Structure 1
């Protein structure tokens, strides 16, 4: 009986005493895919740091070398996780080069462990930079990995992210503080000029082929478009027009007949294009990235 009482006392203390911190969630994303053991190696390293870690994934299907996509998927996912969550993002075509390995703390209290190669573009812009530290590999690198030059995702980022999430190190122990600047990728930011909004197509709703823009509800609202009004759309690939049409604005896919085009606000409350039970991206050969842009205005009714 005494042993049981002691067990419950320790359990209570472990969950409630402010001096005992619980591990943060550790969330991975990469362009590694799941065809081989790379992701399992990273998670194995993390669990070797602490078997108590709770590990999750954004995705491991980022198109290879697509730094922009990595940046967008962080922007999409990070805000919906609790403050303190540690994200490890590895899309690193420059692995082994002189690009910096960093941990960025956002103003929302999230941590991003990644190469500073443009991956932090959208997180820095939308969530803000509280502080950045460069990873000190003399202290924060997997043991006996010094001769491995091509898998920093495992040897540096997964290891450091796990140590930070587990509380083995503090943020200050990651390494030296850097200026609050990151490598940023250029793209068309949303602007409204003379009744025309210009913006970027940062990503696709991949499973369904919907086309997402960075034009948020606030700036779109300035056009005065009401439900079922038509919006004139022109989509460009590096300045080359690829699609042009007047499309009705609705709030659900069922707002138009099956097979018809629509524009709507997606789950991030950004202006988007789709087909009711169809694939807009495939049908019109529209993709995404920093070179894809869009112009929209209210069609005269």
Structure 2
């Protein structure tokens, strides 16, 4: 074989292989930090390789809230380099028949998680290059075979660390699965009959703002200008919870303190807030797949 061609092939193989070996592992859970659960997961990872670089996405997902786990991955994964391995453990069905999987996105990141709906949004946003079921006969912490309630430590962190450190290849995770995941149903963002419909995906929890899945591109269909007013109705499980009008503004400071506004959040999606107040607290609004919104230009 031509020496130059051989070098090129070796470089390509190396580049593909190192996508699973950038040594970065990012953790997400609903564990909180009040006990040693998160530290135990990180300890298992460091036991695989002390050269790993460990980071946290969040451990403050509300207990059992698979939807929010899905959203936080969607919010975050794309900003990390190819080869980064995420561990997401929001697993109310731990020990049951739900599959334990590793999904590789089309952009090269890996997500180690139960296939329980956690992958809903990131699979849609970044696509599925391949998905494999974790073979626990190989990828399970030694001595943990009798433990059924802490897969985050015994299976997910262990597998993620082995993958990130290059101890195993992606192919050694386990058997290939069809390119589909368990999905949580929700209102997709659409424009119909002059109105926008969408989901209140998540709260900007520090401030109580409402973040929807209605993108700036879709919002343009209303031919809005800053200063125009929007009429919006919020539903929970199709029951009206709130109805009102608000200006569409560039900044919070364009309305008086405590007054509502509509704006684009950091993901360039339509959001609602009170200037220096909590829309969620004042009007008893939450977020998730059961919360929807209908918006039109007033």
Please tell me the TM-score bracket, short chain as reference. over 0.9
Encode CA deviations 1:202-256: one digit per residue, 9 max, x unaligned: 1000000000000000111111011000000100011111111110000111121
How much does 1:25 deviate?
1.1
Q: What residue number does 2:193 align with? A: 194
How much does 1:292 deviate?
0.2
How much does 1:23 deviate?
3.6
Cα pair 1:197 1:296 within 8 Å, conserved: yes
Cα pair 2:22 2:83 within 8 Å, conserved: no
SS in 2 for 1:268: coil
Q: Does 1:48 align with 2:39?
A: no
Q: Report the Cα distance in structure 2 between the residues aligned to 1:156 and 1:180, rounded to whole angstroms.
A: 22
Cα pair 1:23 1:52 within 8 Å, conserved: no
Q: Report the Cα distance in structure 2 between the residues aligned to 1:298 and 1:150, rounded to whole angstroms.
A: 50
How much does 1:189 deviate?
0.3
Q: What residue number does 2:144 align with? A: 145
Q: Does 1:61 align with 2:33?
A: no
How much does 1:79 deviate?
1.0
Q: What residue number does 1:252 align with? A: 251
Q: What residue number does 2:297 align with? A: 298
Gaps in structure 1 of 5+ consecutive residues: 1-17
Cα pair 2:71 2:121 within 8 Å, conserved: yes
Q: Report the Cα distance in structure 2 between the residues aligned to 1:97 and 1:169, rounded to whole angstroms.
A: 26
Runs of 4+, deviation exceeding 3 Å: 18-23
Q: Report the Cα distance in structure 2 between the residues aligned to 1:175 and 1:222, rounded to whole angstroms.
A: 45
Q: Does 1:25 align with 2:9?
A: no
Q: Report the Cα distance in structure 2 between the residues aligned to 1:122 and 1:255, rounded to whole angstroms.
A: 33
SS in 2 for 1:137: coil
Aligned positions of 1:234-249 closer than 5 A:
234-249=233-248
Aligned positions of 1:4-19 closer than 5 A:
none
Gaps in structure 2 of 5+ consecutive residues: 1-13
Encode CA deviations 1:126-158: one digit per residue, 9 max, x unaligned: 110000000000110000000011100000000
Kindly report the root-mean-square deviation, in angstroms, between the aligned alpha carbons of the 2 structures. 1.2
SS in 1 for 2:235: strand
Q: Report the Cα distance in structure 2 between the residues aligned to 1:265 and 1:87, rounded to whole angstroms.
A: 28
Equivalent pairs, count:
282
Q: Report the Cα distance in structure 2 between the residues aligned to 1:128 and 1:146, rounded to whole angstroms.
A: 33
Q: What residue number does 1:225 align with? A: 224
Q: What residue number does 1:288 align with? A: 287
TM-score (norm 1): 0.92
Cα pair 2:207 2:278 within 8 Å, conserved: yes
Q: Report the Cα distance in structure 2 between the residues aligned to 1:119 and 1:256, rounded to whole angstroms.
A: 37
Cα pair 2:23 2:51 within 8 Å, conserved: no
Cα pair 2:22 2:84 within 8 Å, conserved: no
SS in 2 for 1:263: strand
Q: Report the Cα distance in structure 2 between the residues aligned to 1:164 and 1:49, rounded to whole angstroms.
A: 10
Encode CA deviations 1:83-142: one digit per residue, 9 max, x unaligned: 111000000111111110000000011100000000000011111000000000011000
SS in 1 for 2:86: strand
How much does 1:187 deviate?
0.3
Q: What residue number does 1:179 align with? A: 178
SS in 2 for 1:281: helix
Q: What residue number does 1:76 align with? A: 75
TM-score (norm 2): 0.93
Q: Report the Cα distance in structure 1 between the residues aligned to 2:61 and 2:117, rounded to whole angstroms.
A: 14
